[in-house]
Structure 1
Amino acid sequence: MNSMHDKGYTARIDFDERDDCFVGRLLGLRDRVSFHAASVADLRAAFEEAVEDYLETCASIGKTPEKPASGRLMLRVPPEVHSAALIAAQAAGQSLNQWATQVLRVAAARTDGPPQP
């Protein structure tokens, strides 16, 4: 996946052959925020403008802007997956939270996720 990052927001970038332009969409939000441009430089500017417009629109209507993630994640998995993950974490000498964070970080890096802090 091609992506861009600005102010904590991530956008997925695709190329639309039919319209011969790049299109982007902010990820991790219930609100739909998209943008497009014909060149990479214009796409960067359109992305930054889309983020600013989103933040300004939220402010003007009195809505708290969504952030893509809070850092808290609750998963519901089958008991056998939970057990296997717990065993893997213990075998690695980690808590389940530490182990899951590491596994998710590696998996997210494979999809060109946001930069790591």
Structure 2
Amino acid sequence: MTNQMQYKSDYSSIEASTENNCLYGKLQFIRPLVNYEGQAVAKLEAAFHEAVDDYLQTCQELGHNPKISCKGSFNIRAGHDLHLAADLGSVRNVSTLGYAALKTSSECSFTARKLRFLACFRLA
């Protein structure tokens, strides 16, 4: 069993409570708290689908846009020196910092080590 489910464009967590003898979860990657529970995996999945449908219907009734799980941007706190080095690297490669980060993310893993990050931008 995996620890996530997907329905439409939403993802959920799957947790187990030995105290309450049930499975439960919540929609992930959105701010509103939308949770559900079930006694078995099939019931949990049905409750998840119902929770997503209810969330989308409630948003429509209230005239709100549903929260998008990933907007396409994320913040990385790198410190001044590393940020400057990455900006310089993207300028040297005639690119934007965001594009350079996405382009190199498949070539290297994000680690706390400055040297590995700089090597991805060919600055080290």
After the TM superposition, which residues 51-62 of structure 1 pair with which residues of structure 2 at under 5 Å, given as runs? Answer: 51-62=52-63
> What's the CA shift for 1:76?
3.0
> What's the CA shift for 1:96?
2.8
Establish whether residue 17 from structure 1 lines up as the match of residue 22 from structure 2. Answer: no
Cross-structure match for 1:27:
28
Cross-structure match for 2:41:
40
SS at match of 2:14: strand
Whole-Å Cα distance in 2 between the matches of residues 80 and 42 of structure 1? 51
> What's the CA shift for 1:55?
0.1
Counterpart residue identity of residue 78, structure 1 = G
Scaled by the length of structure 1, the TM-score of the pair is 0.71
Q: Which has the higher contact order (CA 8 A, sep 6+)?
A: 1
RMSD (Å) for aligned C-alpha atoms = 2.9
Greater Cα radius of gyration, structure 1 or 2: 2
Establish whether residue 98 from structure 1 lines up as the match of residue 103 from structure 2. Answer: yes
Cross-structure match for 2:113:
none
Cross-structure match for 1:113:
none
**Count of matched residue positions in the alignment of Structure 1 and Structure 2:** 101
- Deviation sequence 1:50-91 (CA, Å, 0-9, x none): 1000000000111100010122223332134446778xx9xx
Whole-Å Cα distance in 2 between the matches of residues 62 and 4 of structure 1? 27
Whole-Å Cα distance in 2 between the matches of residues 5 and 85 of structure 1? 35
5+ residue gaps, structure 2, are 91-98, 111-124
Whole-Å Cα distance in 2 between the matches of residues 64 and 20 of structure 1? 35
Scaled by the length of structure 2, the TM-score of the pair is 0.68
Whole-Å Cα distance in 1 between the matches of residues 36 and 51 of structure 2? 7
Cross-structure match for 2:93:
none
Higher mean alpha-carbon deviation, 71-80 vs 46-55, is at: 71-80
Counterpart residue identity of residue 11, structure 2 = T
